[in-house]
Amino acid sequence: MSSPLLFAIASLIWGSTFWAITVQLGEVAPAVSVVYRFGLASATLFLVCLARGQKLSLPWPAQRWMLLQGFFSFALSYVCTYTSEQYLVSALVAVLFALMVFWNPICSRIAFGTAITWRTWAAGMVAVSGVTMLFFHSIADAWQEIVGGGTGHFLLGLALAVTATISSSAGNIVVTKVREHSSNLFLTMAWSMLWGTLMVALWVLVSGQQFTLPTKPQYWMGLGYLALFGSVIAFSAYFTLINRIGSQKAVYIGVVTPVISLLLSIQLEHYRPGALEFLGMFLCLASVAWAVRTPAPTPKEAVCLTTVPEVP
């Protein structure tokens, strides 16, 4: 499957998952929904591996990196994301994930010493400017509420969402180390999701939350979509892209995603953007087009990328 098609698949699916998460809020605790989602996704991936006649075991050196990936990519990031959507509208949370265009290069710099080019910073600034324009009025209204003595839940949701973006970027860097130990994408994803599920389940038990079964049909439909499409398919496409083009380019999925999320809000939530919002959408897409034309990596960057084997 071509890289542009993988980019489109991940963007379209994740553009809808931020809204789909809201369907799961209310009946059960956010962390419990994370356990259900990635528990189901992990089981599905293990079954796929069994159907392909593959061994499910992996050596401990590989498991250590998958445990770390599970913590960053599927535990901390998603607990923060689900909880933040109790206080922020889903499209705004999607917008904040565009900050990964900054966090990914910074994490890559810390982990591998990869240089951060002026083009990366410039494209990232354009992208963040665009998503800020998309929701400028919503942010301004929320700030006025806080100044007027509001609850401050907006700031809590904002902090949680930003934490989720940083955690996701750290997980993207760990993917590179995971792939050095195993080229089996489905199996490494299954183990990483399982580790993340177990960590969140432990947090649920320690914090005294209850594992309750929801009764609303829309919750179960949302769970199936988030587990199979939002987790198995979208993450497969995304991690394959990281392997092919590097995390600094693949992360621009997080810039297209809020645009799609906004378009869904127009259709499903009757949101009517103005000229500023449309200008923001244009800047988001323009930054993606510019970023994917970034020149080839330096020899040091190439070493970091080519140590990852191709997906069979």
Q: Which residues pair with residue 25 across a beta bridge?
A: 28
Q: Please tell me the predicted confidence (pLDDT) of residue 73.
A: 92
- Please count the other Cβ atoms lying within 10 Å of the Cβ belonging to residue 173: 24
Domain that holds residue 244: 3-306
Q: Answer whether 197's CB lies under 8 Å from 33's CB.
A: no
The DSSP output letter for 97 is G
End-to-end CA distance of the chain: 12
- Identify the pLDDT of residue 247: 67
Residue whose C-alpha is closest to residue 239's, from 188, 197, 203, 278 = 188
Tell me if 311 is assigned to some domain: no
Contact call for residues 174 and 69 (beta carbons, < 8 A):
yes
What pLDDT does residue 301 have? 40
pLDDT in tens, 102-142: 788 888 888 777 777 777 788 778 878 887 887 787 778 77
Q: What's the DSSP call for residue 74? A: I
Q: Say what the pLDDT of residue 86 is.
A: 87
Largest CA distance in the chain: 61
Q: CA 92, 153, 136: angle at the middle one, nearest 5?
A: 35
The predicted pLDDT at position 312 comes to 34
Number of compact structural domains in the chain: 1
**Token pair 């380019």 in the structure block, residue:** 249
15 assigned to some structural domain: yes
Q: pLDDT under 70 in the chain at which residues?
A: 151-152, 247-248, 269, 288-289, 291-312
pTM score, whole prediction = 0.82
| CA-wise closest residue to 235 among 6, 53, 44 | 6
User: Residue 93 has which token pair?
Assistant: 């949370």
pLDDT at residue 305 in the model? 34
Q: Quick one: pLDDT at residue 292?
A: 60
CA–CA separation, 162 vs 77, rounded Å? 9
Query: Is there a domain that residue 233 lies in?
Result: yes
Mean pLDDT value across the chain: 83
pLDDT of residue 269: 65
Cα 262 to Cα 159: distance, rounded to the nearest angstrom: 21
pLDDT at 298: 46
Phi, psi dihedral angles at 25 (to 5 degrees): -85, 140
- The closest of 154, 234, 197 to 34, measured between CA atoms, is 197
**What's the confidence (pLDDT) of residue 291?**
67
State the sign of the Cα–Cα–Cα–Cα dihedral 275, 277, 278, 282: positive
Query: Within a domain: residue 215?
Result: yes
